[in-house]
Amino acid sequence: MLHLIKKDFLIQKRNLAVAVAFIVFLNLFAKQGSTFAFVLSVLGVTYILVLGSGDIEQKNDCNIILVSLPIKRSTIVLSKYLSIVIFAILAVVVDLVVQRVIMIFGLPVEAQTIPSEIIVLSLVGAAIYCSVVLPLTYKFNVMTANVAGGALLLLLLGSSDFLLERIPVFLSDSNISDFQIALAVISFAVVIMLISYLISLKLFKDREF
Amino acid sequence: MTLPLRVHNLSKEYKDFSLTDVSFTLKNNSVMGFIGPNGSGKSTTIKLIMNLVKRDSGQIELFGLDNLKDEKRIKQKIGFVFDENHFHETLTVHEMKNVIRGFYDQWDENLFQKYVHDFELPLKKQIKDLSKGMKMKFSLAIALSHNADLLIMDEPTSGLDPLVRSEFIDILKLYVQDKNKSVFFSTHITSDLEKIADQITLIYKGKIIFTRNKDELMAKHCLVRGNPDALDTMGEQMFIGLKKDQHEFVGLAERNDYLENELGNQVSVERATLEDIAVFYIEGVKSHVAFD
């Protein structure tokens, strides 16, 4: 499985560079503030890298190579979902580093310490976002998935102000502890990922090459 | 010793093509050439063996194991070469090798480096910049570097020049010197098979026409040419396949005393190449001429 994830890094060196540039750009120029830039960059970078590897493989029909290797199809699909987590964590780390650099060098851009709940929410958001779109790459192709992903992103962006205002108010008004909220949110993401994985697995197992 | 490959009553239906009751057996330490015209079902059969497509019915056993139930275990022992390049084009030869080697328990890096040296593979070059011949050699190096007991190849020499094809045949000859190794490969370049194959399986329109020992096949058959009058004397039923016009007939027949002694100057009897045998067997199927 680790070889499959390593492969996903190797085949998209260009996408990795674009991802870093995207994070830097958002942090320097996003007018909505550093929290918004952080959330969007984690979401966007995870999506670019997860679907980016799938796009490259579809163009070369590389899944034929993978399916002919001594590896189960379930492992191939599982590695994609594991890569969501890895790419999301990578995006968080790079983003935090960029924000730290901005603070250290005193650049005239808003930068602040990102609260842990925002980090968790970003990871969860990226996981759910990619999990919703990934089965479409197995059913149709990456291009179709990108259209759906784009529509979903527009919806999220359109409601971002509402969500970033209302969710903290709701959470502070409720009697639920931060730990319970985090647990509920993470559990929800895990359930979504599991359902998505099972759908993707069924589709990939039935696929003929 | 278990057979490296056994296919029994394999069937697969598509909208406009079907594979029907395909059966053949690859013997130990032998090279089987799988031949047939374009669209006859060669690639489909190989994809079914490799579980790239799902069979509708039938059995496929490799090393005595079912190709579905024991897929992962079987694929450790198989080296597979595709007809087209499906490697990640942006990776270098070295990077792609490192991606694949991790999946094989018996990967032999020294062996791979030996093939790199013998094939003059440029390790730092991106796969998209390799020539067709180099890509095939890279595929072969990968297939040979994890101690596979069976090589399965789908038209590996298609589009390659005669020099590269000759090198490929030499590599296969060396490979099967090990008593535990076998090769199954599809091709429509029958001249390559005359040099290396032990067995020949002919497929046409999704059905197996024959599986035979190559030397026996070639020794047993001959090409007969003559004028139409001689054909009237002989009768068409003695031919496996026949082509005729108003001036001449050419047909494939089994060697027999009648042909070679009694007909004398009426016909010419020639050695049949593997290509002749395949063409005329198919001709016989098309025109429903009876044969064994």
Kindly report, residue by residue over B131-147, the tens digit of the pLDDT.
988 999 999 999 999 99
**Is pLDDT above 80 for B263?**
no
- Residue A83 in tokens: 């890569």
B93-101 vs A2-10: helix axis angle to the nearest 10?
Answer: 160
Distance CA(B242)–CA(B229), nearest Å, equals 15
C-beta separation of B263 from B178 below 8 A: no
Strand ranges (DSSP E) for B27-112?
31-35, 57-62, 65-66, 78-81
What pLDDT was estimated at residue A13? 86
Query: Mapping DSSP to helix (H, G, I), strand (E, B) and coil, where does residue B156 land?
Result: coil
Q: How far apart (Å, rounded) are the C-alpha atoms in residues A105 and A98?
A: 11
- Nearest-Cα distance to chain A for B87, in Å, is 6
Residue A3 to chain B, least CA–CA distance (Å): 6
Query: Whole-angstrom Cα distance, residue B242 to residue A37?
Result: 77
Does the pLDDT at position B290 exceed 50? no
How many interface pairs between A and B have CB atoms less than 8 angstroms apart?
67
Q: Residue B6 corresponds to which amino acid?
A: R
> Which pLDDT value is given to residue B289?
47
Stated as kind and residue range, the H or E segment containing B210 is strand B207-213
Can you tell me the distance from the alpha carbon of B260 to that of A209, in angstroms, rounded to the nearest whole number? 50
> Are B52 and A60 a contacting pair at CB < 8 A?
no
Of B178, B3, B175, nearest to B74 by C-alpha is B3
Which of A11, A208, A209 has the CB atom closest to B88's CB atom?
Answer: A11
Q: Which two tokens mark A116?
A: 């842990």
C-alpha span between A8 and B99 (Å, rounded) = 10
Q: For residue A140, how many other CB atoms are within 10 A of its CB?
A: 13
Question: What is the distance between the alpha carbons of residues A42 and A18, in angstroms, rounded to a whole number?
Answer: 13
CB contact under 8 A, A64 and B88: no
- Residue-wise pLDDT for A49-82, tens only, equals 999 888 888 887 888 999 999 999 999 999 999 9
B201-221 pLDDT, tens digit per residue, is 999 999 999 999 999 999 999
- Determine whether the interchain pair B91/A11 forms a contact, defined as Cβ–Cβ distance below 8 Å: yes
Contact B88 A72 (CB under 8 A): no
- Give the CATH fold of the B5-215 domain: Rossmann fold (3.40.50)
Q: Which residues on chain B are in Cβ contact (under 8 Å) with A65?
A: 82, 86-87, 100
pLDDT, one tens digit per residue, over B172-201 is 999 999 989 999 999 988 999 999 999 999
Q: Does B256 or B273 have the greater pLDDT score?
A: B273
pLDDT at B219: 94
Residue B92: its chain A contacts at CB < 8 A?
none
Q: Which residues of B touch A64 (CB under 8 A)?
A: 52, 82, 86
Q: Do A6 and B76 touch (CB under 8 A)?
A: no
- pLDDT band of residue B287 (cuts 50, 70, 90) is confident
Instruction: Tell me the domain boundaries of chain A.
Output: 2-206
- Tell me, what's the pLDDT at A175? 72
**Could you tell me which residues of chain B have a Cβ less than 8 Å from any Cβ in chain A?**
47, 50-54, 71-76, 80, 82, 85-91, 95, 99-100, 102-104
Compare CB distances from B103 to A10, A61, A71 and report the shortest one's residue.
Answer: A71
Please indicate whether residue B202 or residue B289 has the higher confidence score (pLDDT).
B202
User: How far apart (Å, rounded) are the C-alpha atoms in residues A96 and A83?
Assistant: 20
Pick from B17, B44, B52, B149 the residue to mutate for testing the A interface (most A CBs within 10 Å). B52
Phi-psi region of B242 (alpha: psi -120 to 50; beta: other; left: phi over 0): beta
Nearest Cα neighbor of B207 from B73, B6, B10 is: B10
Which stretches of chain A score pLDDT less than 50?
A: none
pLDDT at B291: 39
Sequence spans of domains, chain B: 5-215, 217-286
Strands B221-226 and B267-271 turn out to be antiparallel
Single pTM value for the model:
0.88
Backbone phi and psi for residue A2, each to the nearest 5 degrees, phi listed first: -65, -35
Residue B292: the pLDDT is 38
